């Protein structure tokens, strides 16, 4: 996820749609989830669709089709003085309006995402000591109570890495796990106090990097036990930081020397020890682009002069795809579309309806738990959301008793 104004600041089913409840297994073998070690086992045989809603975009909340989502992650809260803090004056109103969507889908879960690209600078401090971790976890619990949330999503970009000029330490690797453990403990304590059970237990999720560096700086085999599921940010493989154009959210590798792909992101998590049933594949509702691209190979994997601010899929469909000199091409190896305007030497990489069909097929074939997208305002017609819903949720409706 990203969070800066110049770079698209950064991840419901029908009323009868549900996420299968989580089974809580306690290491102490007691029946009260207040022990230090709590393992979360997700029985989610039914798919999830998690949509990020960016608070700063003035989201059109009332027009979100809540029946096509299982979760909404509201972005972002900041980390200040070891506390999760909502900083924008309209956050409370937005969260109230998001909660009102439950009138259309009572099983919709509303979470706040903490951090993002620009607001991860203080995570390392918050995770540093047992005292700071407790302070952070208690602030999360307070935030959930105050805004009637269903859980929290942590988007630390990134443990053990500098990110956007952040504070980082080698011990982030272990401290991240300990932070998740403390947050999980506080959420379970609160669930017991409020008699929230099964599907209604407070949830803890994270957004993760797709590359190997993320795994090298975390302990995902240990961390995953405290998580309900993991949203992999399988996008932004190419951008202003790469020397050439390329696919930014391709499913499979193609001719890219970096070899990055969504499949690789999943495999990195599996190799790190995250169960497949806890993995959520990230998809992009926005395009990345470049100008001054070399006129070779229809602009794909070519050097460029400058990058272009991200373009929403809605804008792309209205003004660029096979319009105004842009031609849509398809990389069959990568299962990814791209746009090329040779006269203007301009190139765009993005997800569309065809690429999402391949991704949803992959999710089902590999038994992942669903899809996550960044972010809702980039798809105002909900065209891409519709593809996710039709292929992941529309044929998997169940009620609370588990009856088809």
157 is catalytic: yes
Whether 302 is covered by a domain: the verdict is no
Q: Omega into 158 within 30° of 0, i.e. cis?
A: yes
Neighbours of 129 (CB within 10 A): 13
Please write the tens of the pLDDT for every residue from 176-199.
999 999 999 999 999 999 999 998
How many angstroms separate the CA atoms of 339 and 349, rounded?
7
Whether 401 is covered by a domain: the verdict is no
Whether 230 is covered by a domain: the verdict is yes
Least confident piece of the model among 82-86, 161-165, 268-272, 400-404: 400-404
Q: Omega into 375 within 30° of 0, i.e. cis?
A: yes
Please write the tens of the pLDDT for every residue from 96-108.
999 999 999 999 9
Whether 289 is covered by a domain: the verdict is no
How many angstroms separate the CA atoms of 200 and 215, rounded?
30
Tally of structural domains, the chain: 1
Q: CA gyration radius for the chain?
A: 20
Using the predicted structure, report yes or no on whether residue 45 has a pLDDT greater than 70.
Answer: no
Whether 100 is covered by a domain: the verdict is yes
Using the predicted structure, report yes or no on whether residue 233 has a pLDDT greater than 70.
Answer: yes
Where in the sequence is the domain holding 203, given as residue range(s)? 5-284+352-393
Residue 225: give its domain's CATH number.
3.20.20.80
Please write the tens of the pLDDT for every residue from 322-377.
999 999 999 999 999 999 999 999 999 999 999 999 999 999 999 999 999 999 99
Please write the tens of the pLDDT for every residue from 9-21.
333 333 333 333 3
Whether 293 is covered by a domain: the verdict is no
Please write the tens of the pLDDT for every residue from 223-232.
999 999 999 9
Whether 309 is covered by a domain: the verdict is no
Whether 308 is covered by a domain: the verdict is no
At 44, the pLDDT band (50, 70, 90 cuts) reads very low
Pick the catalytic residue from 43, 131, 157, 404: 157
At 395, the pLDDT band (50, 70, 90 cuts) reads low
């Amino acid at each position: 996820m990203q969070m800066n104004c110049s770079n698209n600041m950064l991840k419901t089913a029908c009323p009868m749609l549900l996420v299968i409840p989580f089974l809580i297994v306690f290491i102490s073998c007691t029946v009260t989830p207040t022990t230090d070690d709590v393992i979360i086992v997700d029985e989610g045989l039914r798919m999830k669709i998690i949509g990020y809603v960016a608070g700063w975009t003035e989201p059109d909340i009332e027009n979100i089709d809540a029946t096509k989502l299982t979760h909404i992650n509201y972005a972002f809260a900041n980390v200040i003085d070891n506390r999760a803090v909502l900083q924008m004056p309209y956050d409370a109103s937005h969260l109230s309006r998001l909660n009102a969507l439950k009138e259309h889908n009572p099983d919709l879960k509303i979470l706040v995402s903490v951090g993002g690209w620009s607001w991860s600078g203080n995570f390392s401090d918050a995770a540093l000591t047992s005292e700071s971790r407790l302070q952070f976890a208690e602030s999360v619990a307070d935030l959930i109570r105050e805004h009637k949330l269903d859980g929290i999503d942590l988007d630390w970009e990134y443990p053990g890495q500098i990110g956007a000029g952040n504070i980082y330490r080698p011990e982030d690797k272990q401290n991240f796990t300990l932070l998740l453990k403390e947050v999980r403990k506080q959420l379970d304590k609160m669930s017991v106090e409020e008699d929230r059970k099964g599907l209604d237990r407070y949830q803890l999720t994270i957004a993760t990097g797709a590359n190997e560096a993320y795994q090298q700086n975390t302990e995902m085999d240990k961390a995953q036990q405290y998580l309900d599921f993991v949203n992999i940010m399988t996008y932004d493989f190419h951008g202003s930081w790469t020397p050439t154009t390329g696919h930014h959210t391709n499913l499979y590798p193609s001719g890219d020397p970096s070899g990055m792909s969504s499949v690789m992101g999943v495999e990195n998590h599996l190799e790190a020890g995250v169960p497949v049933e806890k993995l959520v594949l990230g998809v992009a509702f926005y395009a990345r682009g470049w100008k001054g691209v070399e006129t070779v190979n229809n602009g794909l994997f070519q050097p460029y002069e400058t990058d272009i601010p991200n373009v929403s899929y809605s804008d792309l469909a209205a003004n660029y795809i096979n319009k105004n000199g842009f031609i849509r091409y398809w990389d069959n190896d990568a299962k990814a579309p791209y746009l090329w305007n040779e006269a203007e030497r301009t190139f765009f990489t993005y997800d569309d309806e065809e690429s999402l069909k391949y991704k949803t097929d992959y999710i089902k074939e590999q038994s992942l738990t669903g899809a996550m997208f960044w972010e809702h305002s980039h798809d105002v017609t909900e065209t891409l959301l519709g593809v996710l819903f039709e292929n992941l949720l529309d044929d998997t409706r169940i009620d609370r008793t588990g009856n088809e």
